[in-house]
Amino acid sequence: MQISVTSRPPAARADDLIVLLDPSAARELFDPARAAALPGWDDLARHRKTNEVKCPYQASGGAPLLYLPGAIAPYWDDDEKIRILGGKTWDLALDRHARRIVLMLDGRHGPDAAPLAAEGLALRAYRFTKYKKGAEPKREPSVTLVVSDTNRAAVDRAVKRRLTVIESVNAARDLVNEPGSALTPADLEQAARAVARRRGLKITVLNEPELRKQGYNGLLTVGRGGTVPPRMIILRYQPAGRGARKDVHLGLLGKGVTFDTGGISIKPSARMWEMKGDMGGAAAALFAMDAIAQLKPAVAVTAILVTAQNYVDRNSVLPGDIFVAKNGKTVHVDNTDAEGRLILSDGLCRMGEERVTHLVDAATLTGAVVRALGPALTGVLGNDQFADEVIEIAATQGEPCWRLPLVEEYRQWLDIEVADLNNISNPACSLYAGATTAALFLREFVPQGVHWAHLDIAGTSLVTGQYKYFRPGATGVMVRTMAALAERLAARPADG
């Protein structure tokens, strides 16, 4: 997407779409006498019913389309409204065959408006049409953001930073949107190697023999029935220079089940296709690293992608099987469709070996969080106030979250006679607090002394209809938050 920032409105073209956030800005651009004669101008100038009108541009006498955005749902915060405006503007430009969008960002909205609008435009411009015949995209309009002269240089830098992150978000969306047969654990490894090569990251891949040698039995158990062996992919970003933090090491862990049939505890057929997206957490962690490597925060970051296929096969793990986890605890597999926590247990243990101080895991983990919070909120659970910090950062990135409790009383629901842990709640409590009990299971493997936040993105990783500035499909959720978190940790005081 071609976006430029200027402090002077460009010369008019008849195929422009001019967007005014404030009706008073029209006085700077248009000949009032000529404009007043046009149908709809009176309503437009008073910010009443009409949202768009053809209006002569004072400089050239052309007739661009002028758009004054109407009210956006009041439940969105101001930043999100501007992102949504960006998305609406993109759709209108395509519908009206505009060749250029000129977005007038007046001072009332401050210097943050331009990067937010650019973000909404770039997220809405994304399309996944790889497998759709005749879906060649319409010619994309260019975008000019008009801002005050005093802020132009800073705004230009902020826009470029946001577009860097959104490029990574959209790359994550590409991975999640791929069919399960086209994105196996081996394909995810190749995608990670490409990111590492492009961004100068170090990469280590533990394949099946190495997983067995090191005792990562969660991955081996889940991946037994897959056609492609599981693996653990480790990416490392190490900041250069003397200003790098020595006391903070961020870990990003992503669940990467490239297709989840549920295994022997097979899922219902309705909407099972969505389980191609059960690697949304791994995609988020991978492309957060893609963004982080470009933003260059002064803090070490390690990402681990735990990836497997959960298939139905004669070799698949059976309900009632027991395995020894990496930390020595025995785990009884009550339900093979609660597989994500099994592979995450390996990643959590490995994070201890990597000596991280702060740890975020992202996983499409439970249907319970979808029932509790729906598609608007990611569920967050954690072992201390670090989880609140992640929630605060996510809110600034347009990825709202809600903290759910780790209820200590519920830990006993994971007890079972034959092993140290059951992988789901006991039958008497199986309908209760599924997101909480899943996180309680994960906590058993969190390295001691590490600040931990668990992000259950089952409801936010994929949308099935038009939502805000997203088209149906993957959202790339948590790439923005993870990248911003790395920057926050790099900048905060050493005693934080």
Active-site residue numbers? 267, 341
d(CA 280, CA 340): 12
* 436 closest CA partner among 400, 398, 408: 408
Q: For Cα atoms 219, 220, 224, give the angle at the middle one, nearest 5 degrees.
A: 120
Q: Using N-to-C axis directions, what is the helix angle for 340-353 and 434-443, rounded to 10°?
A: 30
d(CA 246, CA 305): 24
Q: How many CA atoms lie within 13 A of 120 on its CB side?
A: 25
E strands present in 216-370:
231-237, 249-260, 300-310, 322-324, 330-332, 358-363
What does 251-282 look like in DSSP terms, one character per residue?
Answer: EEEEEEEEEE--TTSPPPSTTGGGGGGTTHHH
d(CA 315, CA 306): 20
Does residue 310 contact residue 262 with C-beta atoms inside 8 Å? yes
Per-residue tokens: 489: 């940790």
Q: How many CA atoms lie within 13 A of 132 on its CB side?
A: 9
Other C-beta atoms closer than 10 Å to the C-beta of 358 total: 23
d(CA 260, CA 339): 9
